[in-house]
């Protein structure tokens, strides 16, 4: 895992799944805070597939931690492949807020945090 800083925005770079459970997200959040970041960009491929199955509650639990610790999060990926109406609604509602966003590119994430 590599952390690239764009001012106070940390981007996680890895080809592996890094977040399988809430504690993994908390560890990454702590690493990024330690490096001075107040926002995090992570790629869809770094999240376990269960994250996108809302019945597992992993997504809700993880996003709640980001909200509790007031760290903005952008998840970069192509979300059009997900057909679940509840997931699409979840993404839509998340994107209406300021703390969590599902975006198509790193540039879009950086713009969202500007």
Quote the pTM value: 0.95
Q: According to the model, what pLDDT value does residue 105 have?
A: 98
pLDDT of residue 76: 98
**Tell me, what DSSP letter sits at residue 48?**
-
Question: Token match 């709640």: residue?
Answer: 64
pLDDT for 108: 97
Are 52 and 87 in contact by the 8 Å Cβ rule? The answer is: yes
Mean pLDDT of the chain: 96
Residues 12-41, mean pLDDT to the nearest whole number: 97
Q: List Cβ neighbours of 107 (8 Å cut-off, separation of 6 or more).
A: none
Q: Is the pLDDT of residue 114 over 90?
A: no
Instruction: Give which of 97, 52, 103 is closest to 78, Cα–Cα.
Output: 103
Question: How would you classify the pairing of strands 39-43 and 9-13?
Answer: parallel
Q: May I ask the CATH class of domain 2-113? A: alpha beta
In the chain, domain spans: 2-113
């Amino acid at each position: 895992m590599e952390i690239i800083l764009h001012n106070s925005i940390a981007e996680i770079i890895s080809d592996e799944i890094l977040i399988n459970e809430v504690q993994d997200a908390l560890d990454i959040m702590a690493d990024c805070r330690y490096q001075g970041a107040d926002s995090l960009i992570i790629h869809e491929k770094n999240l376990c597939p269960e994250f996108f199955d809302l019945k597992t509650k992993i997504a809700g639990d993880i996003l709640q931690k980001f909200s509790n610790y007031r760290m903005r999060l952008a998840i970069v990926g192509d979300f059009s492949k997900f057909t679940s109406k509840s997931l699409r609604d979840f993404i839509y509602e998340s994107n209406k807020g300021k703390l969590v966003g599902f975006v198509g590119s790193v540039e879009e994430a950086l713009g969202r945090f500007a």
